[in-house]
Amino acid sequence: MSRSLSEALFTPFKQSIEEFSLPKRFTFPFYYSPHPLCILAAKELQEYIGNHTNWQHNFGLSDDNQTAVGKMFGVLLVKNKQGEIGYLSAFSGKIADSNHHAHFVPPVFDMLTEGDFFRTGQENLNQISHQIKSLESNPELSMLEQALKAEQQSSNMQITAHRTSMIEGRKNRKEQRVKAVTQLSTGDFVALKDELSTQSIKQKNKLRDLTFYWNERINKAEKSLNSLLDEIIKLKNKRKALSAALQQKLFDHYRFLNKQGVEKSLYDIFDDTTQQTPPAGAGECATPKLLQYAFNNNLKPLAMAEFWWGSSPKSAIRQHKNFYAACLGKCQPILSHMLEGIELDDNPLLTNPAAGKTIEIVYEDDDMVVINKPAEFLSVPGKNIEDSVYLRMKQLYPNAKSPLIVHRLDMSTSGLMVIGLSKQAHKNLQKQFINRTVKKRYVALLDGLLSKDNGIINLPLRVDLDDRPRQLVCYDYGKPAETHWQLIEQKKGKSKVYFYPKTGRTHQLRVHSAHIKGLNMPIVGDDLYGNKDKRLHLHAEFLEFSHPLTKKLMTFQIEAEF
């Protein structure tokens, strides 16, 4: 295959790269600092995107943000057969309603052009959906539903009224029998008992007849309604089956290569995972596209990087031109296959960040301990790392009779934590946090200049299921999260603030800082929602609560190191 065909999208660097060292190993894609050559490639690609004229796409960099759709772009540093170093470019999903644009690698599978079966299948599904919508909008359906409801209500009213009458009848008959014992002769008493028994039987028979009557009417109404509903249910089941079959066929057409030339379908890749079914958009991200093109064209992958271009989406946090790791939910299974046999950088998430660090004891008595947790120190054991505040406290207080941890701080956040040493103290302290009677204050350094002195942020949060542990702003399923903030000072383009969280959601202060509807500027050093630095500049500096046993008001304050 000629170079012009096989390496059509291989892009040489515009400037000399002789002073750059090549990566020793491929990037660990789920947590990385971009290699200098990837940063250079990204800058060149960003210049291209900013100056292109081949297509129009609203990234939200102008005033029109209503229809804006930012995109993740990726660069792959590669070496060709001639030993030359260059890079490939890709975007996630589609741009300007197309999968194909000059300068960018193609998708792994293009359902828009290659997948005639997909278009046909979608058209069939749309036709069925149209039929369902038409049947559901039939006025007769609404009339029959109302008729059934009316019959059910009338049945309930009449049967309930008769049951009430029966209860009252039993009560009256009992009273008559009690009086008759002393007032009537034996013969008259027997006659009265027979009469009361006949009354009881009549009421029971009437209940039977009423029940039968209304069951007949309700069954008739249900039969009329089901004659329409059955057709809708059949169509919905048909649509569900066709959709599942279409999705399965689509998964089989997404086939990913690795260094050894082994090909796996999207379905096969995710079949070995806990989720089993590939999430929406799996295989459409930039890095799988880049690797697929490299393997197909005998280009050696050396390093990767992905960056965001455009305005931030409404839920997730993305900063224009910032680099981001590949997502775990969609990309980890795919990239685990595609990068098999390629030596990767070490996974920093497996390195104990607390190694060599000590915990400062601020206060201690028989019931509780207050500590100053260092930054990059887990509060409780993680999936891969056991060293944590919990482990250190367990080692320091082996006789403590409680779960120890009352509340948590994010691993990257430093500051005050209270530890319960006895069950009674732990229970009381935890109750104070749950009832929100504990006063907390955090100090943070933001990457930007605030235009106001204070405010309140209300943005509900939930975990990003496709990219844990990141959090999303979600008004449908998120938990309420409220943060009060106050500006302390500004200098060198940064804003120092106090945070007073009223709730304690995961990453609450980090998301409320960085999100476009929050303060729209990340905390300095936030490797998830901003830019990595020596540390996350977030510190829990103040705690006030009642002593769990003496009830004495306890106040603690530790200044931040920044």
Residues belonging to the active site:
410
- Rounded Cα distance, 436 and 439, in Å: 8
Is residue 111 a contact partner of residue 100, using CB atoms and an 8 Å limit?
A: no
Burial class (CB in 10 A: 0-12, 13-18, 19+), 55: exposed
Which tokens go with 262? Answer: 């082994």
Whether residue 314 contacts residue 90, with contact meaning beta carbons closer than 8 Å, is answered with no
Phi and psi of 43, rounded to 5°?
-65, -40
H or E segment at 328?
A: helix 328-338
CB 501, CB 440: distance < 8 Å: yes
Query: Rounded to whole angstroms, how far apart are CA atoms 415 and 256?
Result: 46
H or E element at residue 75:
strand 71-79
Cα–Cα distance measured from residue 403 to residue 249, given in angstroms and rounded to the nearest whole number? 50
Phi, psi of 18 (to 5 degrees): -60, -30
Q: Is there a contact between 553 and 453 (Cβ–Cβ < 8 Å)?
A: no
Instruction: Write the CB contacts of 342 (distance below 8 Å, at least 6 apart in sequence).
Output: 26, 259, 301
Q: What is the 3-state secondary structure (H, E, C) of 386-397?
A: CCCHHHHHHHHC
The tally of CA atoms less than 13 A away on the side-chain side of residue 131 is 17
CA-wise closest residue to 57 among 88, 14, 91, 87:
91
Q: Give the position of tokens 């089993």.
A: 276
> CB 182: neighbour CB atoms within 10 A?
7
- In the block, tokens 């509807």 appear at 517
Q: Per the structure block, which two tokens stand in for 207?
A: 């209940």
| CA angle at 220 for the pair 217 and 221, rounded to the nearest 5° | 90
CA dihedral of residues 522, 374, 407, 558 (deg, nearest 10): -90
